[in-house]
Structure 1
Amino acid sequence: MLSYTAASVREFVLRYLYILVMYLVTPLIVLRLLTRGMRYGNYHRRWPERFGVFEPPAGMPGCLWVHAVSVGEVNAAEPLVKALRADYPHAPLVVTTVTPTGSARVHQLFGDEVFHVYLPYDLPFAVERFLQRLRPRLALIVETEIWPNLYFACRGRGIPLMIVNARLSERSLRGYRPLMPLLRSALRGVRVAAQSRTDAARYRLLGADPELITISGNLKFDMPVPYDAVRIGEELRQGWGRLRPVWIAASTHEGEEQAALEAHLKVLERLPDALLLIAARHPERFRMVEHAARGLGFATASRSADGVPGVAHRVFVIDSMGELMPFFAASDVAFVGGSLASIGGHNVLEPAALSRPVLVGPNTYNFEEITLTLVREGGGERVADGPDLAAKVLGLLSDRARRERMGRRARMVFDSERGAVGRVMRLVDGLLEE
């Protein structure tokens, strides 16, 4: 009894310390909003949404709510959102994000089919105001967003909450450890549809109820491959030279663009007509990447200024959002960023879905099991650093048979793991019936 009381007191203290800290950092939050308002044109007009102030369309009570923090999570949620639209056509659908790029991706994918609003900061008054305006029937949180006040408020209102496509890296688990009692309480009653056995085990360690954890697989395996991606990719290749060796460095971060550009210098020594397509993860890096390419002497074009590269260009900067699939289709080899930098890697499934051999760096903990499977089955390879990236890109661009073999194996991995959406939708049906 004493032990239980001590645990309860600790939870209580942690919760109110957490709330106090959230209020204390609110001035910094406002400063961040000001900074982002300068960076993203009309973003300042939507600041009130961060505090739960917005006007929802008529008929929102009873909506189905999906939260996806940014672009990657929105892409992962795409097949689930479409399944919800198909199975519950009369239920209003709300999709929240945290980032402006996530918001842009929601509008690009779904248009007016869903209502988008920014998720409020995890302040009690903001969360309550948000839930009062929407009054959702169900909350589906994509991947790893655990906000204690939001979770407590959903439970207080009787809103079923499920973390879908749930993943939790070892690093995130260590970071959550000081808040473990608080998170264990927040996760009480929350259903978890985990990507893998490893993710399920980590959620159990975090405090989720083992009876409410299911291994559903990764929603990203169920993402639709745009029907016209291959066609557009073929058209792109016709424009810059169909037989040219082409590779792409996608979703890159600081340091990785320089590594890719220096690797391309090595590639050009052996394959002088090779073309590098490069797509930074964040829009604010687009201009820097272009300057870096020109600074190294590359004949450089960009999506915004030139549309497509010409025969004379050696580097093409993809300074647009949501267009990676056709450029993956137009490439012979794909390097997926966030993996040479200590970011944890990004989605390797998009190039795999298009039968492209995949290269990743050593840091892939965000997509741990998928990457391990892809490498083990021969659809991908790891690179240790920039020089190793140059060597492996050159090796693949010089060996068509090996590229095609790796591409087939990558596609086989992608196809073998599909079905997560159906498993999650069965859980959704059960929650809504309850």
Structure 2
Amino acid sequence: MRYLYTFVMYLATPLIVLRLLARGVRYGNYHRRWPERFGLFPRPDFSGSLWVHAVSVGEVNAAEPLIKALKRDYPHAPLVVTTVTPTGSARVHQLFGDGVFHVYLPYDLPFAVHRFLKRIRPRLALIVETEIWPNLYFACRRRGVPLMIVNARLSERSMRGYRPMRSLVRSALRTVRQIAAQSRTDAARYRLLGAEPSQLVVSGNLKFDMPVPEGAVDAGAALRRQWGPRRPVWIAASTHEGEELAVLEAHLDVLRRLPDALLLIAPRHPERFKLVEQSARSLGFTVATRSANRVPGAHQVFVIDAMGELMPFYAASDLAFVGGSLVPIGGHNVLEPAALERPVLVGPHTFNFEEITLTLIREGGARRVPHAEELGHAVLDLLRDARLRERMGRGARHVFDSERGAVGRVMELVDRVLGE
């Protein structure tokens, strides 16, 4: 099965190159870093690195407190952070600058993986959330690099996706030293994929340990002073194609009852910034953008066309709708608004944050909108009821506080593995 998998990967290489060309058109400097996808980059002058892989923005944000703990507890160990997406790469540089060595993870081709590991010479590999690459895993075992999956999660959808190559995935998982799962459900799914019970531990979700950025609350308060502290404001964060129009139509419903209301909308992907701005203008909204206007004035819609700036805008909002949930993306991080005591609205598709979302709903910190047509009504209910917002905000923050501690539990596992 492994030979078949590798053969298919080689057959797919021309398509991979075409994809690189397409992304090079979308992202101006993307083509300069193509060699990294095949394990080619200047050899860093270190060995014995601690390597953390976080595929994109969400995983980088989740890994932030863990990376900071590694820097604190192992100050002399070089830190390598890999991502797959350009937005993930940008987030690494935004959070850590030159404090870590960053490259893209190579494709799961044996020669590319060999080059990559030969250059970074890791002492430990930490894979964040759900990234099972068989050739990479087998190569780590061959080189004696202990491998851990941390903040491990596995949705029902992802588990179904692995079924056609289940025997290969099972063999790959057996090379992992420890799987630190977010929840009992995630641990059970990894067990069904083939992990041994001795490999599994439930450590909780690293995202509960994420720090609220210094100054985010003050920055949010300053924003509110600029556009009016009594003005009704809601945010739609990390939105995707297929739900942005629904958000804008919901805001039309809101404006009929609250004509001075303001919508902040933050598309998940940079290529959608301009499209969302144009859609809002075509519906007759007065629109401002972060890049052109910095803050809204008397505008009805404000497009946050910047990455990594959500927290101050969450702090400046009365409530938050978290995107990727009206369409079957699986939802995004509901913990960021929860950390700031903001009521949370989600759509029906939240399988990426299944247990956290259910806990927030059960504790009164979040509400589920069954379909797009109900979003405007749900937003109106909250904007018109300050006591309800306050009660939901307290519930959301209680969930956030009660689940903290995952970083400490994962670091105990790291210390044990490195000690061995």
Task: Compute the TM-score of the two structures, normalised by the length of structure 2.
Answer: 0.99
- Which residue matches 1:432? 418
- Which residue matches 1:130? 116
Superposed CA deviations along residues 206-246 of structure 1, whole A, max 9, x for unmatched, are 11111010000000000000120110001111111111000
**What are the equivalent positions in structure 2 for 1:366-381 lying under 5 Å apart?**
366-381=352-367
Question: Per-residue deviation at 1:189?
Answer: 3.4
Question: Are 1:251 and 2:245 matched, yes or no?
Answer: no
**What are the equivalent positions in structure 2 for 1:295-374 lying under 5 Å apart?**
295-310=282-297, 312-374=298-360
**Secondary structure of the residue that 2:187 maps to in structure 1?**
helix
Distance across 1 between alignment mates of 2:26 and 2:159 = 32
**What are the equivalent positions in structure 2 for 1:115-194 lying under 5 Å apart?**
115-190=101-176, 191-194=178-181
**What are the equivalent positions in structure 2 for 1:276-295 lying under 5 Å apart?**
276-295=263-282
Task: Compute the TM-score of the two structures, normalised by the length of structure 1.
Answer: 0.96
Distance across 2 between alignment mates of 1:255 and 1:236 = 29
Verify the 8 A CA contact 2:55 2:84 in the aligned structure 1: yes
- Which residue matches 1:95? 81
Superposed CA deviations along residues 288-312 of structure 1, whole A, max 9, x for unmatched, are 00000000000000001111100x2
The one-letter code of the counterpart of 2:255 is L
The structure 2 residue matched to 1:229, chosen from 192, 212, 216, is: 216
Question: Per-residue deviation at 1:104?
Answer: 0.2
Aligned residues: percent identity? Answer: 78
The structure 1 residue matched to 2:198, chosen from 211, 215, 221, is: 211
The ranges of structure 1 where at least 4 consecutive aligned residues each deviate by more than 4 angstroms after the TM superposition are none
- Which residue matches 1:4? none
Verify the 8 A CA contact 2:44 2:120 in the aligned structure 1: no
The structure 1 residue matched to 2:207, chosen from 220, 223, 232, is: 220
Q: Which shows bigger deviation, 211-220 or 32-41? A: 32-41
**Secondary structure of the residue that 2:160 maps to in structure 1?**
helix
CA RMSD, Structure 1 to Structure 2 (Å): 0.6
**Secondary structure of the residue that 1:243 maps to in structure 2?**
coil
- Which residue matches 1:84? 70
**Secondary structure of the residue that 2:43 maps to in structure 1?**
coil
Distance across 1 between alignment mates of 2:222 and 2:286 = 21
Verify the 8 A CA contact 2:208 2:335 in the aligned structure 1: yes
**Secondary structure of the residue that 1:159 maps to in structure 2?**
coil
The one-letter code of the counterpart of 2:208 is F
The one-letter code of the counterpart of 2:396 is A
Verify the 8 A CA contact 1:189 1:212 in the aligned structure 2: no
**Secondary structure of the residue that 2:412 maps to in structure 1?**
helix
Question: Per-residue deviation at 1:39?
Answer: 1.0
The structure 1 residue matched to 2:257, chosen from 252, 270, 294, is: 270
The structure 1 residue matched to 2:18, chosen from 28, 31, 37, is: 31
Distance across 1 between alignment mates of 2:373 and 2:89 = 37
Question: Per-residue deviation at 1:56?
Answer: 3.2
Superposed CA deviations along residues 278-329 of structure 1, whole A, max 9, x for unmatched, are 001101111000000000000000001111100x200000000000000000
Q: Which runs of 5+ in 2 are unaligned?
A: none
The one-letter code of the counterpart of 1:26 is T
Verify the 8 A CA contact 2:82 2:105 in the aligned structure 1: yes
Question: Per-residue deviation at 1:387?
Answer: 2.0
- Which residue matches 2:382? 396
Verify the 8 A CA contact 2:159 2:189 in the aligned structure 1: yes
Verify the 8 A CA contact 1:65 1:94 in the aligned structure 2: yes
The one-letter code of the counterpart of 1:382 is R
Verify the 8 A CA contact 1:192 1:214 in the aligned structure 2: yes
- Which residue matches 1:57? 44
Question: Are 1:238 and 2:211 matched, yes or no?
Answer: no
- Which residue matches 1:107? 93
Verify the 8 A CA contact 2:137 2:175 in the aligned structure 1: no
Distance across 1 between alignment mates of 2:173 and 2:283 = 51
Verify the 8 A CA contact 1:52 1:130 in the aligned structure 2: yes
Verify the 8 A CA contact 1:262 1:386 in the aligned structure 2: no
**Secondary structure of the residue that 2:122 maps to in structure 1?**
coil
**Secondary structure of the residue that 2:306 maps to in structure 1?**
coil
**Secondary structure of the residue that 2:117 maps to in structure 1?**
helix
- Equivalent pairs counted in the alignment come to 419
Verify the 8 A CA contact 2:321 2:344 in the aligned structure 1: yes
